[in-house]
Structure 1
Amino acid sequence: MSDRRSRPPRALSPLREHLRDTFWFAPALTLVCACVLWFAAAALDEEIVSYLRDERAYDELQDLISVAEDTKQIVVTISSAMMTFIGVVFSISLVAVQMASGQLTPRVVRIFVRSRISKLTLSVFLATFVFSLLVLSSYESETDPRRVTSLPFVQSVLTAVLVALSLLLFIVYVSSTLRLMQIGPVLDRITRDTFRVLGRMPAGRPGDGALPDETARIAHTGRAGVLRDVHVARLVRAARRQGVVLRLIPRLGDFVVPGTPVLAVHGGAPPARYALRYTVSVGVERTLHQDLAFGLRQLSDIALRALSAAVNDPTTAVQSLDRIVQVLAATVRLPLGTVHHRDRKGVVRLVQDVPGWEDLVDLAFEEVRRCATDTPQVTRRLLAGIDDLMLLAAPDRQGPLVRHRALLVQAVERAVPDASEREFALFPDRQGIG
């Protein structure tokens, strides 16, 4: 872990992450590729026809004309049916996603939007539709081998390949969408994304001494939204050139409005505006690119939705707690809180506030604990999770866990008057009621 923490800060690529949050880029790029592929296939078909005509291989050319005529009806059927197929498949899929978001949390829609298989399936479907339309334009009414100039033989073969690929992706896509409706795979996806954030945790080390006096503040001038990304390397570079220390005021995930201070300058004049361009990214919702707390936020939301009176699914809440404990167990020994990023000479240039251990524990347990007092399955799992974390936590990190355990016990004692039921609800069990 120490080797990973000592790496220099990785340069952020907001464009890549933002394109992953869109559903239009991959299909649009694939449509362009489909057009390029058609042009190449049409040119190859013309070369084949020209070669056979020059060699006076009219019998072979007549055979190709017959094959092309036979496949023309297939291409017509594909072009007319593919768009309807796309509409039906994705309408059903969006209904499934809507059901999953209603039962779990609206944040699971983000998993669908970022799903590579979803984008690949839509892209191939659209490419097949456009390619088949372009192939139809290559057919000629001329059937005389001596006069024919274009014959979509290669194009027809590629159309068949695209159809086969579409069918294969359809099977994979349906399987992926059905998994999205199951709580286990959704929780596993959120947890894996959270661990990827842990792999990109800020690599700064604690600073030596206090920061210089604050000399200026830089306000946010863009649109209002959630702070999603911070370009650490660029901020460090700007601070080094100016000879100052920058301090990021809001945390990742905070909502900022125009005029809100986002950077504090310590020890000198602020860097020029152009040097700070594209250093912070604001969007309409939080992402898991750098925001560690957002993973726990999603897991906690699913548990809270499961504990609501409308859903009343304590088993789902227990499964969410399983993953919450897994994430906390992975962060229990990590250095958290304020992070100091240094330049190549080891001088602190950027100070960033990340969630501390107590913040993560409160986010994970506070709301779930308040809603779980009358559900013994959840209280038992919550107690078992806290006890497991107590075994992993260093003495200086056991305080928040002890506090939440005591508050949970007190809440159950107030809510459950019967002594035997109270004893049952306060017995730690990793399965809730196993």
Structure 2
Amino acid sequence: MSRELGYRRPRALSPLREHLRDTFWFAPTVALVLVCLLWFAADSVDVAIVETLRQNGDVQGIRDLMGVAEDTRTIITTVSAAMMTFIGVVFSISLVAVQMAAGNLTPRIVRIFIRSRISKLTFSVFLATFLLSLLVLTSYDSEADPRDVVTVPLVQSALTVVMVGVSLVLFIAYVTQTLQLMKIGPVVERINKESLEGVARIPVQGPDGEPLAPETARMSHQGDAGVLRDVHIARLVRVARRNGVVLRLIPRIGDHVVPGTPVLAVHGARVPARSALRHSVSIGIERTFHQDLGFGLRQLSDIALRALSPAVNDPTTAVQCLDRIVEFLAAVAARPLGAVHHRDRKGAVRLVQDVPGWTDLVDLGFTEIRRSAPASPQVSRRMLAGIDDLLRLVPDERRTPLERHRELLVQAVERTLPEAAERAFALRPDRQGIG
């Protein structure tokens, strides 16, 4: 049933995958392990080539291979000496760029650089190239007599040269992306994209109207205090189905919880064992996009507020953030919000998760920006246009918070601007702010 409605069932390893994406160590570590395996395979091929030539009595062939390998040895030595210096310089510049972007926009966008696939791939390939060059240098045989040579690292040297070429291509791509992420447009687009991906993971069907069974037990958080980052939906649904109960997540994703805070409520006769629910709730230091519906709006609002501060005074950036806020709200305008019901294969509700409602999202997207908008006609005009667009899209029962923000914005502009002509100009809806 849920699949027919377009809901993609959460994968069993989705929380682990998202957590690994928020780390920077996993990809380089895997790359170093893989390059060791690659070097071992290439070394075996080189040994087999030399052994085949020796069995055929082709000493001259071995001597020719040794000559080619000696010519490439200088290249490998140069690569080994220069690669770590190159890595240090490149990523030192990158850290400065990240610091500038965080200072100009919001510190929470550092996470975008950490999750960047091209950044991790570039760093991984750089380190793998450096390690491979060191391993290749250990394969050079000191014997001068071709009859005593065990291996000639010809294949290994060729792989190193290929890795250097890949590193150069990735370096160009990495610099291009880093420069893009220093601009406001690509940053807010990335934030909005991840926010919309989170919306796509939410079931589109609403509650079925059946009341939950009486609450029989509560599970409390026993670990360190922190932010509720996400829950393992597939595991919780599976545990609830096996026990014939419904689990309800008490705090919202993004709430800060302390030891002893009730996290899960059990509705049904049989209470699942605590061991079955172990590692089903993730507590961390900061919020993530994975299941946090409001985190994207929080970042967009932060960037807009910083842009409207007297120290920055950049209303155009605030308008770009409003563009994405309106786009996000339009995407959830017709979706059931408030309580998300996750179902098992038979369509039975097994997990109830509280998410921000429509009013919560509208307030998060508009409240703080609205308070700073009267001083900037560009922002007030864009916000009015965005609210008007949303009023044409949303159902009648969701018009109230939008109308409230529109009225409050009009009142604030009228109090701030004494001249009638200025008020009229500032209250004229314009999708470009001041086009």
Query: Partners of 1:243 and 1:327 in 2: how far apart?
Result: 36
Q: Is the 8 A contact 2:204 2:336 kept in 1?
A: no
Provide TM-score, normalisation by structure 1: 0.96
Could you say what secondary structure the match of 1:312 adopts? coil
Is 1:403 the counterpart of 2:367? The answer is no
Could you say what secondary structure the match of 1:402 adopts? helix
1:106 Cα offset (Å): 1.0
Match of residue 221 from structure 1: 222
Deviations 1:172-198 (A, max 9, x none): 000011011011111111111111111
> Structure 1 residues 185, 7: CA separation in 2 closer, same or farther (over 3 Å shift)?
closer
Match of residue 366 from structure 2: 365
Q: Is the 8 A contact 2:202 2:340 kept in 1?
A: no
Is 1:413 the counterpart of 2:414? The answer is yes
Q: Which moved more, 1:263-272 or 1:178-187?
A: 263-272
Size of the aligned set, in residue pairs, is: 434
Q: Is the 8 A contact 1:226 1:284 kept in 2?
A: yes
Query: Partners of 1:252 and 1:5 in 2: how far apart?
Result: 24
Could you say what secondary structure the match of 1:271 adopts? coil
Q: Which moved more, 1:196-205 or 1:340-349?
A: 340-349
1:4 Cα offset (Å): 5.7
1:231 Cα offset (Å): 2.0
Residue type of the alignment partner of 1:350: L
Q: Sequence identity of aligned pairs in percent? A: 67
Q: Which moved more, 1:200-209 or 1:151-160?
A: 200-209
Residue type of the alignment partner of 1:376: P
> Structure 1 residues 204, 239: CA separation in 2 closer, same or farther (over 3 Å shift)?
farther
Structure 2 gap segments, 5+ residues each: none
1:334 Cα offset (Å): 0.9
1:53 Cα offset (Å): 1.9
Q: Is the 8 A contact 2:204 2:335 kept in 1?
A: no
Query: Partners of 1:343 and 1:296 in 2: how far apart?
Result: 30
Q: Is the 8 A contact 1:12 1:230 kept in 2?
A: no
Residue type of the alignment partner of 1:211: L
Q: Is the 8 A contact 1:204 1:342 kept in 2?
A: no
Residue type of the alignment partner of 2:240: A
Match of residue 260 from structure 1: 261
> Structure 1 residues 319, 61: CA separation in 2 closer, same or farther (over 3 Å shift)?
same
Could you say what secondary structure the match of 1:133 adopts? helix
Match of residue 59 from structure 1: 60
Query: Partners of 1:147 and 1:3 in 2: how far apart?
Result: 66
> Structure 1 residues 364, 12: CA separation in 2 closer, same or farther (over 3 Å shift)?
farther
> Structure 1 residues 141, 346: CA separation in 2 closer, same or farther (over 3 Å shift)?
closer
Match of residue 192 from structure 2: 191
Structure 1 gap segments, 5+ residues each: none
Deviations 1:285-315 (A, max 9, x none): 1111111111111111111111112211110
Q: Is the 8 A contact 1:242 1:269 kept in 2?
A: yes
Q: Which moved more, 1:309-318 or 1:401-410?
A: 309-318
Query: Partners of 1:154 and 1:231 in 2: how far apart?
Result: 45
Query: Partners of 2:74 and 2:380 in 1: how far apart?
Result: 64
Query: Partners of 2:421 and 2:7 in 1: how far apart?
Result: 54
Provide TM-score, normalisation by structure 2: 0.96
Q: Is the 8 A contact 2:378 2:426 kept in 1?
A: yes
Query: Partners of 1:63 and 1:351 in 2: how far apart?
Result: 71
Query: Partners of 2:122 and 2:321 in 1: how far apart?
Result: 30
1:384 Cα offset (Å): 0.5
Match of residue 136 from structure 2: 135
